[in-house]
Amino acid sequence: MSERTRRQFLEVAGAAAATAVLAPSALASGRVTPVRAAPELPLPALPLGPTAPYSSYQSEIYIGGMGLGTKPPFTTNLAGLEAAAARVLPESARRHLIAAAGGAAAADANVRALDAWRIVPRMFIDREKRDLRTSLLGVTMPTPIILGPVGRQALAHADAEAGSARAAAGLGLTYVHSAQASTPVEGIAAGAPTAPSGSRWFAVDWPDGAPDVALLRRARLAGCTHLVLAPPQPGGSWSALAQIRSAWSGPIVLSGIQNVADARDAVSRGLDGIVVSNERGRRGAKPAGTIDILPRIADAVGSRVPVLFGSGVRTGTDVYRALALGADAVVVGRPYVHGLALGGEGGVRHMLRTLIAELDITLAIAGVASRRDLDPGALVRS
């Protein structure tokens, strides 16, 4: 690249970066003079920022680095987030947020199973624009990614659950608040209002006896619209479900589904959706990767209720795999908390924008115009 071309590029990059990072109010007031492109090199149409096409986040990062010398808060290698977070978290936080609660074998199995599914690209497909939108249990989502419930997020960063919820709301994503959170659900309602396209759900453990009706009412009053139930311990009873249903007027989703029989049982008992995940019974000597059961469960009940997937997803390619194998949406848990540990609310936002950009780029490379076009034929198992 000649020195003249390099200067022109930097001028263009600087103009685009200024558009992305300067406050719109400052530009409107005239207090800031926008950078102009060189006359002989027109400023390209390069939309940036959270409202831009998802894949443009990589361009935003490149332009920020080239034009302003700015860097993202941490790596865009999402597979390396856990290791990076482990370096900044104290031991007590690592035990809760990273140690896999004794289920390291299951966590490793999930990663291996996801990686075994390889992408089969399509040709002759117009994929200049990709459509990631989905509609799930009455919620229209800009992308099929949900922030799953993780308790005690204050261990990761002072921004805690409110920071994660604000990052989700800023991108129009659904955030699931845990009953085991550091911040009460009323604090989330006050500190992180939902976006028009987003929603807030509430997650509780399956009760050992009667459900906490007062807690469920508090969550509803705080704006939570859907309830996510962690599965009972092995041998648990369905008896609490009727009381839960009478105390909660919105949709109820059961997580921890790992086999077809339990999925059919959940649907027959009136659950509105399920999450395929290994939250219970994950300490077997040789646990299976949860993604491998997803296609069978989706085939069995996917025409009757939404099927979500929530085990081992770390990257946009993992999201693509889960969608292709039958998931209607993907629940991401610990990765966004790793982002919280590394950068607070901004770290969660960076992690989510990177994840969605990876998914968008994966669709483009694979020749898929819409996530609704995905099916198991998009993958082959190695």
151 labelled as ligand-binding?
Answer: yes
Q: Helix (H, G, I), strand (E, B), or coil: what is residue 29?
A: helix
DSSP 34-71: PPPPPTTSPPP----STTS-GGGHHHHHHHIIIII---
* 378 half-sphere exposure, CB direction, 13 A CA radius: 25
Annotated binding residue 283? no
Q: Is 282 annotated as a binding residue?
A: yes
Phi, psi (deg, nearest 5) at residue 145:
-130, 130
Is 289 a known ligand-binding residue? no
On whether 334 is known to bind a ligand per the annotation, the reply is yes
Q: Is 253 annotated as a binding residue?
A: no
Radius of gyration of the chain (CA): 22
Instruction: List, in sequence order, every residue forming a beta bridge with 379; answer none if it has no partner.
Output: 119
Integer CA distances (angstroms), 335 to 73, 97, 131, 226, 308, in order: 15, 10, 24, 22, 17
- CA max distance for the chain: 74
User: CA 288, CA 107: separation in Å to the nearest integer?
Assistant: 10
Tokens of 316: 């946009």
How big is the CA angle at 34 (ends 28 and 37), to the nearest 5 degrees? Answer: 145
Q: Which residues are annotated as a binding site for FMN?
A: 149-151, 178, 277, 333-334
Q: Which residues are annotated as a binding site?
A: 149-151, 178, 277, 282, 333-334
Q: Which residues are annotated as a binding site for glyoxylate?
A: 282
